[in-house]
Amino acid sequence: MLDVCVGEDDCMIRKDHAPQNLSLLKKIMLNLIRADKTDTARTSLRLKRKRAARDDDIRIKMLGIHPL
């Protein structure tokens, strides 16, 4: 699923522990997007990820952060 959603096979990071660290971050991101219930539209994970990357408000809602 990571390759389909974020293109993990094309990743060029290969030094030290960076591949494992980045893979863990990608898995966390994918789980956060899957658990997101704020978006009522039935869209793909890829579109949800792109929407969150572009819009701070959507990203804040996905993370469950309540700004002051």
pLDDT of residue 9: 61
Under the banding of pLDDT at 50, 70 and 90, the label for residue 64 is: confident
pLDDT of residue 38: 75
> What separation in angstroms does the CA of 10 have from each of 4, 14, 50?
11, 11, 18
- What is the pTM for the complete model shown? 0.67
Domain ranges across the chain: 2-63
Residue 17 identity (one-letter amino acid)? H
The string of DSSP codes covering 5-56 is HH-GGG----STTHHHHHHHHHHHHHHHHHH--S--S---HHHHHHHHHH-H
Which pLDDT tens digit goes with each residue over 3-54?
555 566 666 777 788 778 888 888 888 888 888 887 777 888 888 888 888 9
Neighbours of 7 (CB within 10 A): 11
pLDDT of residue 45: 83
